[in-house]
Structure 1
Amino acid sequence: MPLRARPVLIVTLTALPLIAAAAVVSYVSVSVSDASPAEPVPAAMSLPFDAYELSQFDVHTIEAAQDVLIGACMREQGLTWQSLPAPTAAGTRSPHARRYGIMDAGDAGRYGYHLPSPSPTQARRDAVWAAREKLPATEKLALDGAKGHGGGCRGRARAQVTGKAPQDWLEPLNRYASQTFEAAQRAPEVVAVIREWSACMKEAGYPYPGPFEAVGDGTWWKTQQPSDRERAVARADMRCKQETDLIPIWAEADRRVQLGVLRQHAGEFRRMAEAKKALLDLARDTLRQA
């Protein structure tokens, strides 16, 4: 059975202002590890592309800058505006915490394959986003204009912050991220270690061909809370990853492939870094001026 590539976060500058914190994303967004020091710690994992991608904290910073401008615009019209909590790096999640399926023994035992409960800060952010979905008609009109997203206070805020930054860097970055992940997944050592992991899981009574088939088992998502079997499978998953060294082997292949692409396209990635800096500088300047 062929291996499946994990979902890759796709972000565009036009979509960015609308991203709720929970959208950073799919299998990637989980809590920082609290596993013992002997176990793999996803939060400590880094990859070469990290310097060019927008972290969860970066997204929160851009959202906060636009939120300041939206709030001022709404108040000018005599309307109230509930602001998002101030961005903070504390409690933001590693972008790699579920890059190879579940990667934290503590999470496996408590949550199975379900995502942990959000941090208090994240819960407050989620509550604000949920409230905005229920705005009265007058507030919605002021926020988005008569033709929906792209107008009103939100459209003006977006144009003032992200609209002044380069617009063409995220699409190629997303493409390279997807291509390199798939290439690393095809590396002989990764194919071999996944085969070893699968054999280990089969011995435990759980015949999954790969980690993504385990985390993606539709059985888990029929309930709000993890079942005892789900937690048992997740614990076996982590034990087999540790016994086979799946995480460090796969991560090293990821790093090697990403570094190769960076060297091959050095000029393009330099422009990506400049574009990211320009975008974040605009957001930070907005927040300072506020």
Structure 2
Amino acid sequence: MKRVLVAVVLTAGALSTAGCTGDQDAGGGPPASVASLPPPPVTATPSVSNLNDTRLPLDRYTTTVDQFIDLDYASKMVAADCMKRFGITYKFGRQNLDALRDRTNRLGLMDEAEAKQNGYHGDPEDVAQYTQTDSAHTNLTDDQALVLLGTRPGLQAPEGVPAGGCIGEGHSKVQWNLEEDSWLEDQTNEAATRTFADERALTVIARWSACMKESGYRYDTPDDANNDQRWWKDDSVVASGPEIKTAVADVRCKKKVNYLDQMTSILTAYQQQIVENNAERLETAHRNTQNALKNAATVLSGR
């Protein structure tokens, strides 16, 4: 899969059309910016065989796949009742997001078996989940979508439609703060971005590049190898022989230079810096998510 982000965070903004939630209090005051802070110290370099087995500092606060599915489904149940008031049958189901549970390759391709099978293209079924649209929304007519989503620029919802549409009513009932989830996504992506720009990470990447050169490949960074235009002339085409050989060499060089250990330790330091500088807001977000999950459970138990 062509990589444009080094981290993927599960948020409603990424996987579900959000209603208006501006009236919900994010809590904890404005976020503290860590962009101007000096690089944090790396206190330890743990042995990491797979990122799935590592708990990162922001994991406590971000929405898990199972939590997202419950919050999304409960919100849609409320929205469906709302849509009935307007004579609309809103059909929906639980989203299949199993691929998002796996973060083996979040810091770059690390799975040699996958490299041998799919090169940089990834498993087709997993890629489809990353790029899916929500059929519960796309199966609606324009007028029905206006009831679901509410008034938008240039489009006036029918009289009686709640603020943010019926899906907004669902989010409000569950008290799912989508703006808060979006902010958490920003923090996780900021930590990842700063990690890859860190001098310590650049040193690791330079060692990887030297290893690749010894293997006959000239790339400055893993992203350069992943995003080589030869692999992406047609996204529907399966990985070629040269792509697979490059991907395998990439993974082996990462292992040789302890890429995952080093990058995970740096990422952990940046996430911890964010936690320390936004402790109050993060704890508020955590409490709000737990409260929303309780509300979602109440909605789900009623059906």
TM over 0.5: yes
Match of 1:159 in 2: 169
Of residues 228, 250, 269 in structure 1, which corresponds to 2:241?
A: 228
Give 1:131 deviation, angstroms.
Answer: 7.0
Asked if the contact 1:161–1:282 (Cα under 8 Å) also holds between the matched residues in 2, the reply is: no
Give 1:71 deviation, angstroms.
Answer: 2.8
Map 1:58-137 to 2 at 5 A: 58-85=67-94, 91-94=98-101, 96-118=103-125, 126=132, 129-130=134-135, 132-136=137-141
Asked if the contact 1:97–1:103 (Cα under 8 Å) also holds between the matched residues in 2, the reply is: yes
- Distance in 1 (CA, whole Å) between partners of 2:187 and 2:243 is 33
- Distance in 1 (CA, whole Å) between partners of 2:285 and 2:103 is 20
Change (3 A) 1:118 1:281: farther
Give 1:271 deviation, angstroms.
Answer: 1.7
Give 1:110 deviation, angstroms.
Answer: 1.1
Structure with bigger helix share is 1
Change (3 A) 1:55 1:218: farther
Map 1:204-215 to 2 at 5 A: 204-215=215-226
Map 1:1-290 to 2 at 5 A: 6=5, 17-18=16-17, 40-85=49-94, 91-94=98-101, 96-118=103-125, 126=132, 129-130=134-135, 132-136=137-141, 139-140=144-145, 142-144=147-149, 152=161, 155-162=165-172, 164-166=175-177, 169-223=180-234, 224=236, 225-290=238-303
Give 1:64 deviation, angstroms.
Answer: 0.8
What is the one-letter code of the residue matched to 2:120? Answer: Y
Aligned pairs, number: 264
- Distance in 2 (CA, whole Å) between partners of 1:230 and 1:210 is 16
- Distance in 2 (CA, whole Å) between partners of 1:122 and 1:183 is 27
- Distance in 2 (CA, whole Å) between partners of 1:72 and 1:108 is 46
TM-score by length of 1: 0.73
Change (3 A) 1:162 1:201: farther
More deviation, 246-255/96-105: 96-105
TM-score by length of 2: 0.71
- Where relative contact order (Cα < 8 A, 6+ residues apart) is larger, the structure is 2
Give 1:132 deviation, angstroms.
Answer: 4.2
Change (3 A) 1:14 1:245: closer
- Distance in 1 (CA, whole Å) between partners of 2:116 and 2:141 is 43
- Distance in 2 (CA, whole Å) between partners of 1:251 and 1:39 is 8
Give 1:286 deviation, angstroms.
Answer: 2.1
Change (3 A) 1:258 1:95: farther
What is the one-letter code of the residue matched to 2:116? Answer: G
Asked if the contact 1:56–1:92 (Cα under 8 Å) also holds between the matched residues in 2, the reply is: no
Asked if the contact 1:65–1:286 (Cα under 8 Å) also holds between the matched residues in 2, the reply is: yes
Give 1:79 deviation, angstroms.
Answer: 4.1
Give 1:259 deviation, angstroms.
Answer: 1.7
Give 1:150 deviation, angstroms.
Answer: 7.7
Identical residues among aligned pairs (%): 23
- Distance in 1 (CA, whole Å) between partners of 2:143 and 2:5 is 41
Give 1:192 deviation, angstroms.
Answer: 1.6
Asked if the contact 1:17–1:62 (Cα under 8 Å) also holds between the matched residues in 2, the reply is: no
SS at match of 1:209: coil
SS at match of 2:100: coil
Match of 2:24 in 1: none
Asked if the contact 1:8–1:177 (Cα under 8 Å) also holds between the matched residues in 2, the reply is: yes
- Distance in 1 (CA, whole Å) between partners of 2:118 and 2:290 is 37
- Distance in 2 (CA, whole Å) between partners of 1:39 and 1:178 is 20
SS at match of 1:181: helix
SS at match of 2:125: coil
More deviation, 220-229/244-253: 220-229
Asked if the contact 2:11–2:181 (Cα under 8 Å) also holds between the matched residues in 1, the reply is: yes
CA-to-aligned-CA distance 1:114-146 (integer Å, 9 cap, x gap): 131326x959x958x347424345644554457
- Distance in 1 (CA, whole Å) between partners of 2:190 and 2:146 is 41
Unpaired runs of 5+ residues, structure 1, are 20-37
